Amino acid sequence: MAYSKSNPFNQAIGDKIRTYRENAGETQKEFAEKIGVKRATLSLIECGEQPPSLEVLAKVIQITKMDMAEILNLQPKNHMILDTNIIINCPELMRSLTIYCDMVYIPRTVERELEHQKNSTRENIRKDANLALNKIIEMRKSHPKQFVIEEETGEGSNNDDRIFSVALKIASDNPNDDVYLLTNDKDFQLKEAGKITNLKVITSRDFERIFRRDENFNIPLSQKFFSAVLKKDLEMVKQLSEKNIDVNYVDTRSGYTPLIQAVRNRDCKMVGFLLTLPQIKINAVDHKKHRLPAISHAVQISHLGLVKQMIMNGANVNEPSQSDKNPYNTPLMIASYDGKLDFVKLLVEHGACINQQDKGNGFTALIKAAFQNHADIVKFLLDNNADATICSFEKKKAIDYAREKNDENRYRAVIDLLEG
């Protein structure tokens, strides 16, 4: 086999050797002695500037226990190109991609599209775009070699064409690897790849089927189970629950678990049945932007009966959000911010922590209620020992947020309560 200096093949071998050595806690000098070369020679091999001889390669394989195909990097790699709708709808999926894929690409067109949406006049679009962009930044920092922004070739008159041209280029540059364009846009399915056969256009559902290698569950049936919950087909859900399925399966399109989807559907019968399943994870969070548990979703949609149902079945009334932007937002905080007194009373009655602070702003339920001018909730919280002296990360108390609204007439009741 012919080698060339500083080529990707040499670099791949060098990376494998260096990774093994570092994980084993050995210096270059120590490992070089084991394989019978000088330290300087090993350094060149690890940098990809010199290929190992066949004799050295045999010693490396003997020591590392890697097979020939693995160390020579002959196994096909998985390359994943992401469309905008995937990142917007389920940003947490990007974390999974780094597990299953060797390389993940964000076409520059997608980044520009998100930047444009960040300036939208619609608040929900603006927030989703901001979250997606922040997640991209996070993944690029944590996986800089694996997660990259791919420049477009300039081909195509619209965004879809430019994204597809990126996928074609990556597939053409890596003919021995598997290349996937992950999108929920059906128009991509119709695009012609020509002679390039290693490019596949897949949906988020296809991704689960192809990449999620969980031997304990039947993934297609788990997807069908979620779909039955979505369609409120209780009989089908009951039938499928007896199969080898993941009842906590996270739908990659919505980011919801079956239980959370049933709550969003306001389907009390479905929720009741799901809560009878011994494998159900009642406190599991969604994979959307706020990463909320089912009980918080019930608070959001203002369904007091579902909140009661969740509590009676063991839901943690203090289960926090796992959002990167504003972590530890509890059901009580959500109810207090939204002005839902009945929900606040129910949660406090069942042990909600009144003085808990979120980890994004340092807000308590009292601060959130004061900020939104919910005097009835402020009074109830104070009557139940809420601490009005707690400061946020900005060093402000609940009364400070009420006063700085510059509307003392409207906030008078809240200010009087907090001053008293």
The percentage of the chain sitting over the pLDDT mark of 90, rounded to a whole number, equals: 54
Q: Mean of the pLDDT values across residues 129-147?
A: 89
Instruction: Count the Cβ atoms, other than its own, within 10 Å of residue 157.
Output: 7
Q: Which amino acid is at 92?
A: E
The CATH class given to the 219-419 domain equals mainly alpha
Instruction: Count the Cβ atoms, other than its own, within 10 Å of residue 226.
Output: 26
Whether 205 contacts 185, CB under 8 Å: no
User: What is the predicted pLDDT for the residue at 332?
Assistant: 98
Of residues 17 and 263, more confidence is placed in 263
> Are 8-71 and 78-211 in the same CATH fold?
no
The percentage of the chain sitting over the pLDDT mark of 70, rounded to a whole number, equals: 93
pLDDT at 293 over 50: yes
Which of 285, 288, 305 minimizes the C-alpha distance to 296? 285
pLDDT at 190 over 70: yes
For 97-123, give one letter per residue: b (16+ CB within 10 A) or e: bbeebbbbbbbebbbebbeebbeeeee
The pLDDT-based confidence of 154 (bands split at 50, 70, 90) is low
What CATH number should be reported for the domain whose range is 8-71? Answer: 1.10.260.40
User: What is the predicted pLDDT for the residue at 4?
Assistant: 41
The C-alpha R_g of the chain, in whole angstroms, comes to 27
Whether 319 contacts 325, CB under 8 Å: no
Q: What is the DSSP letter of 285?
A: B
Whether 347 contacts 317, CB under 8 Å: yes
Q: How far is CA 211 from the centre of its chain?
A: 16
Q: Where are the domains of the chain?
A: 8-71, 78-211, 219-419
Report pLDDT digits (tens) over 335-379.
Answer: 999 999 999 999 999 999 999 999 989 999 999 999 999 999 999
pLDDT at 67 over 50: yes
User: What is the predicted pLDDT for the residue at 71?
Assistant: 67
User: What is the predicted pLDDT for the residue at 167?
Assistant: 92
Q: In whole numbers, what is the pLDDT of the chain averaged over residues?
A: 88
Fold entry, domain 78-211: Rossmann fold (3.40.50)
Cα–Cα distance measured from residue 20 to residue 395, given in angstroms and rounded to the nearest whole number: 48
Q: Mean of the pLDDT values across residues 302-327?
A: 90
Instruction: Count the Cβ atoms, other than its own, within 10 Å of residue 242.
Output: 7
pLDDT at 406 over 80: no
Report pLDDT digits (tens) over 81-123.
Answer: 999 988 888 777 887 788 788 899 999 999 999 999 988 888 8
Cα–Cα distance measured from residue 366 to residue 371, given in angstroms and rounded to the nearest whole number: 8
pLDDT at 1 over 70: no
Widest CA span of the chain, in angstroms? 85
Cα–Cα distance measured from residue 336 to residue 368, given in angstroms and rounded to the nearest whole number: 6
